[in-house]
């Protein structure tokens, strides 16, 4: 995959291709950027902010929450999305914004891409903002091609996907 | 450890030993119980609701959010606490409530006990409600004795905890 | 991304494009397939086997190991790779094989793609075998484009990636 | 819980209370200590080694394997136990050893206690060695009291633990 194009922070045209108004794009960027201030990251010192734009046009924010046992901590994207889910937003997400303090922009880790896969449409744009608000945008299906999803698991009572003797 | 005592749902006296008013106890129980309805758990079909009572006496709720890749999902307790943390509540939690649809009541898994360890005082009571609201209550330090915490990690630049050649 | 091509189980030509001999390819397929029998998956009933071909041409196997607290379990790919790492294989992996009991073949979850990112070359082929041994093959960088990796984290003592006041 | 007693490294009497011979105890300590050298921990610089003594008296080792996305990494105890499980050791573990470079000794994190809960007997001793080989020993049930385990989940087809409408 070629290195994705980095758009300047004030260019909202890619967002409009995904159905976001310029105001929605600006709010998404501002929200994800400000959400970094909510991070608890004494171990990595790597702040991440994330915002999910719901089907009802709410902006729901999160930040990374780390733990002394590193694997027990969680990422900004999962905090924000879990919050959205328990507030009733389980489908139809319109956009995701992720912001860090580096440049070029960081992408969501694979675990967060998988967590999104359960709820976020494959065509949903993920805007990845760098320290200055410049950004890369890719669809979820571009960040997690050939993804593993709910339809691949056996149904209750179904034997098809289990081995003999299980 | 002896099997912990199960209190009837309308007995708020253990809560008062931990400084909660009867109303706060009832609200905690109701909140954790109702939060079960927010769960996304098509794989385990095991609904869990969790509520954290903050130092400012806010009740912050969460529920489990599962994933087709089971290890990628998250538990009610971590959803609620991460939500609390990014809303600015990082210390002084007064109580935690966890509710499931079984009896005797289920306890938080070890991963959630560890996640709490970072923010919740060791003396904080964890109320574990069964399907009827009856409950067991234990302090965090009773659920996670001799816990691993932030003070055991090396400080930045410190070599003491790292091996030769690292 | 177009639906990837499914190769018949006895076609080793794609493997040879990646520098594997026909025998190595067959061993990788057999190993990943047999590793499914090692799975502990009473909850998902979804067996997965995984094999890593190391730079020294060892085949190291793993399978999924689940837990009653679903997020605490782990996947076949991470079991096999962690095993390889603690046996001294931390770079130069030549191929990865993953096998499940479904068709079309399942891919590694996002969390496993991220776990591989730390050790497995971006150009390394991931062979995904279906229940009959037919397969799709993609490079790691195709499964995890624009990945988040070690070089994006702040160095010890470096302030660049941390926010003010951290 | 009172602060647990720290035994000197050459005192094998607590091990003999748990049915380990002095030689087995010494091998467990040496194995867990040496396993630290296998750690991949560039982020925490906190090496951990772990060894599981199986029912067939094999010693199976692991170490922590970290990731740039901290939550994606894994701990020494889970690496060693997953390795044991896929090598066919799923029950009857006789002892666990964990070794770090600090003093007093560190304990397994809550996530690892939960991972062990699935396979390790509640009465199994966990020996926690400090940087000099001195140690604390506690049973799994003392490290994870009132644990959440497999018997608390709904059986396939059972409705008892699921809420209405699930
Ligand atoms: Zn992440
Ligand atoms: Zn949990
Ligand atoms: Zn996986
Ligand atoms: Zn651990």
pLDDT in tens, D120-130: 999 999 999 99
How does the average pLDDT of chain B come out, rounded? 93
Nearest ligand atom owner, CA of A72:
4
For residue B43, pLDDT over 80 is answered with yes
- C-chain residues within 8 Å CB-CB of D62? 82, 86
Nearest ligand atom owner, CA of C113:
3
* Secondary structure, 3-state, C94-120: CEEEEEECCCCCCCCCHHHHHHHHCCC
pLDDT in tens, A28-72: 999 999 999 999 999 999 999 999 999 999 999 999 999 999 999
pLDDT at position C165 is 31
In sequence order, the 6+-apart residues with CB closer than 8 A to the CB of C51 are C28, C31, C32, C35, C59, C60, C61, C62, C80, C96, C97
Alpha-carbon distance A22 to nearest alpha carbon in chain D (angstroms): 32
Q: How far apart, in whole angstroms, are the C-alpha atoms of residue C102 and residue C99?
A: 9
Alpha-carbon distance D75 to nearest alpha carbon in chain C (angstroms): 10
Q: Which of A161, C40, C58 is nearest to D88 (CA)?
A: C40
* 8 Å CB contact between B26 and B37: no
For residue B159, pLDDT over 80 is answered with no
pLDDT at position D154 is 76
CA dihedral D60, D64, D66, D72 (to 10 degrees): 70
* 8 Å CB contact between C79 and C60: no
Give the closest of D70, D72, D157 to A44, CB-based.
D70
A138 touches chain B (CB under 8 A): no
CA atoms within 13 A on the CB side of B97: 31
Q: How far apart, in whole angstroms, are the C-alpha atoms of residue A115 and residue B31?
A: 26
* 8 Å CB contact between A67 and B118: yes
What are the backbone angles phi and psi of residue D97, rounded to the nearest 5°? Answer: -120, 135
Residue C65 marked as a ligand binder:
yes
- C-chain residues within 8 Å CB-CB of D51? none
In sequence order, the 6+-apart residues with CB closer than 8 A to the CB of C106 are A148, A152, C48, C98, C100, C128
Helix axes A76-86, A110-117, angle to 10 degrees: 20
Q: How far apart, in whole angstroms, are the C-alpha atoms of residue A98 and residue B146?
A: 37
> What is the secondary structure of B71-105 as a DSSP string?
GG-B-HHHHHHHHHHHTT--S---EEEEEESSSSP
Question: B44 vs C44: CB contact, 8 Å cut-off?
Answer: no
Residue C68 marked as a ligand binder:
yes
Give the closest of C110, C111, C146 to A4, CB-based.
C146
CATH class of D13-145: alpha beta
- As for the ipTM of the complex, it is 0.95
D24 is catalytic: no
Q: How far apart, in whole angstroms, are the C-alpha atoms of residue A125 and residue A17?
A: 10
Residue pLDDT tens, chain A, 166 long: 567 999 999 999 999 999 999 999 999 999 999 999 999 999 999 999 999 999 999 999 999 999 999 999 999 999 999 999 999 999 999 999 999 999 999 999 999 999 999 999 999 999 999 999 999 999 999 999 999 999 888 765 554 444 333 3
pLDDT in tens, C39-49: 999 999 999 99
Q: How far apart, in whole angstroms, are the C-alpha atoms of residue A114 and residue A118?
A: 7
pLDDT at position D163 is 36
* 8 Å CB contact between A92 and A124: no
Q: Would you call A47 helix, strand, or coil by DSSP?
A: coil
Q: Would you call B165 helix, strand, or coil by DSSP?
A: coil
How many angstroms separate the Cα of B131 from the Cα of each of A73, B103, C26, C102, D4?
Answer: 29, 6, 53, 37, 36
For residue D78, pLDDT over 90 is answered with yes
CATH node for A13-144: 3.40.140.10
Q: How far apart are the first and last CA of chain D?
A: 40
Residues of A belonging to the active site? 77
For residue C132, pLDDT over 70 is answered with yes
A72 touches chain D (CB under 8 A): yes
Q: Which residues of D are annotated as a binding site for substrate?
A: 64-70
Q: How far apart are the first and last CA of chain A?
A: 40
For residue C131, pLDDT over 80 is answered with yes
DSSP state of C10: T
Please give the residue of chain A at the shortest CA–CA distance from C105: A152
Residues less than 5 Å from ion ligand 4, measured at CB: D 75, 109, 111-112
DSSP state of B131: T
What are the backbone angles phi and psi of residue D53, rounded to the nearest 5°? Answer: -95, 115
């Amino acid at each position: 995959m070629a290195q994705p194009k980095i758009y300047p922070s004030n260019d909202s045209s890619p967002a409009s291709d995904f159905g976001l108004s310029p105001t929605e794009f600006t709010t998404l960027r501002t929200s994800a950027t400000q959400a970094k201030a909510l991070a608890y990251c004494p171990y990595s010192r790597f702040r991440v902010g994330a915002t999910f734009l719901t089907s009802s046009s709410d902006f729901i924010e999160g930040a990374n929450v780390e733990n002394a046992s590193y694997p027990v901590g969680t990422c900004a994207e999962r905090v924000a999305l879990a919050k959205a889910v328990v507030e009733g937003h389980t489908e139809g997400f319109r956009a995701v914004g992720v912001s860090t303090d580096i440049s070029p922009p960081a992408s969501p880790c694979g675990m967060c891409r998988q967590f999104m896969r359960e709820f976020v449409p494959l065509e949903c744009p993920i805007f990845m903002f760098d320290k200055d608000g410049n950004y890369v945008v890719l669809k979820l299906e571009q960040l997690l091609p050939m993804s593993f999803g709910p339809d691949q698991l056996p149904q209750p009572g179904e034997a098809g996907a289990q081995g003999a003797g299980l």
